[in-house]
Chain A
């Protein structure tokens, strides 16, 4: 066991770490893009009457399609039809972002709609401008309320990111499977990878839980999960 561990895992640590780094990059890029897209879609759904239907179908479509299907769809179909994404990395990031943006748009919407109206009215009544109300009163409260759900969504992105290895992005899973296919000794490598993913995702969801409990006790506000 130890001998094999040294031979397959320790000897390939360089490759595994570069894979982990690619995973982190892909996840962060996808998540940032998802936050932006989610906010835009949420805004369209709530404030742009003519495009509301479009936003709803966007959310429903991306929430109802499995991530693998979307990944392959974006990777094989989009370049032919829309002319982008050009590389597999872009395709992977885009697919992960599209999926998450659907969920995030819904989270943002429930955060916005869960805000008591009185907050805004009170701020306006004491003479704050609309922008100031949004920036100083509404945004901080919504951010606190949605934070745990948003962090949890990041954990989901990391989980789904294991699938980008299928379209040959050299992430942790890809590097691991490469070693497995080279030596036909899966036990140590795959177990190490499983535990690594577990550690990363567990850390993220613990952070989400901490945020949930902490915000609940400190600010006394919380959203239904």
Chain B
């Protein structure tokens, strides 16, 4: 059922595929994180319109399947942009994957950021402002360190599912591990060891990464940040 030599034979291609997975993961995590902070802060804005916009954004991206978003960003978004700017605009599959996954997960993360910021008691902010800290300094020095500690476990879960979701980028022809595995299995006509190997590989990597993440963030949480 499992034949390691097959994996060894194709190690270069597979490692390149893993590289694609990791780079898409890193880039879309940054995109999602940045967007999530903006949307999460917008949730707590005093303006009703901004609040509604943030809620709409979060709900839309939380409740739309990643695959649909990915396909939409890859096929539809360039066409819409082309029509708007008036010339043919395209981006490659890698960029589309990063934007699609980044948007999808920014919805989940915005919710986490919002809950985290909400969990800091208002008295903290009031105290900081009353001793004369500026609102930016209050946010950065008082609210954020406390909020981050509460957000971390949930954030780690979301990063893990983001990594799991990077497998679907193979469907818009990004040459990641799953793409390579499909190609090799077409070439070799031996799907059984290849797909079993891929499943076991992902399972091991994700369990190890999850455990490490949890260990590290646990230490952070107990020791404090900033």
Is the beta-carbon distance between A81 and B192 smaller than 8 angstroms? yes
Among B37-45, B84-92, B201-209, the stretch that binds chain A is B201-209
Instruction: Count A-side interface residues using an 8 Å CB cutoff.
Output: 36
A80, A158, A166, A205: the one within 8 Å of B191 (CB) = A80
Which residues of A lie under 8 Å from residue B210 when comparing CB positions?
A: 64
- Contact check: which of B65, B170, B195 meets A77 at CB < 8 Å? B195
Chain B residue numbers with a CB within 8 Å of A144 are none
Is the beta-carbon distance between B80 and A66 smaller than 8 angstroms? no
A69 x B198 contact (CB < 8 A):
yes
CB–CB B199/A191 < 8 A: no
Q: Mark B45-73, 1 if CB is under 8 A from A, else 0.
A: 00000000000000110111111110110
Bound Cα distance from A159 to B62, whole angstroms: 10
Question: Across the interface, do B191 and A177 meet the contact criterion of CB distance under 8 Å?
Answer: no
**A181–B59 CA distance with the chains assembled, in angstroms:** 30
If A80-B192, A186-B75, A190-B72 touch, whether A205 touches B63 (CB-CB below 8 Å) is yes
- Selecting from B124-132, B161-169, B213-221, the interface stretch reads B161-169
Cβ of B1 under 8 Å from chain A? yes
Q: Is A87 an interface residue (CB 8 A)?
A: no
Q: Is B178 within 8 A of A77, CB to CB?
A: no
Interface pair A72/B68, CB less than 8 Å apart: no
Interface centre among A61, A66, A177, A180 (most CB of B within 10 A): A66
Does A215 sit at the interface, judged by CB under 8 A? no
| Interface status of A162 (Cβ within 8 A of chain B) | yes
| A65 at the binding interface (Cβ < 8 Å) | yes
Is the interface on chain B under 10, 10 to 19, 20 to 34, or 35 or more residues?
35 or more
Q: Find out whether the CB atom of B68 lies under 8 angstroms from the CB atom of A173.
A: yes
Asked whether, in the complex, the Cβ of B79 is within 8 Å of the Cβ of A66, the reply is no
Q: Determine if B191 and A76 form an interchain contact, defined as CB atoms under 8 angstroms apart.
A: yes
Q: Per a CB cutoff under 8 Å, which of B67, B182, B192, B203 touches A173?
A: B67
Complex Cα distance, B182 from A31, in Å, reads: 28
Given A64-B207, A72-B195, are A159 and B185 also a contact pair (CB < 8 Å)?
no
Closest 10 CB pairs of A and B: A76-B191, A186-B75, A66-B164, A66-B167, A162-B65, A201-B63, A64-B206, A159-B65, A202-B63, A162-B67
Task: Mark A residues whose CB is within 8 Å of B.
Answer: 60-61, 64-70, 72-73, 76-77, 80-81, 155, 158-160, 162-163, 166, 173, 177, 180, 186-187, 190-191, 193-194, 197-198, 201-202, 205
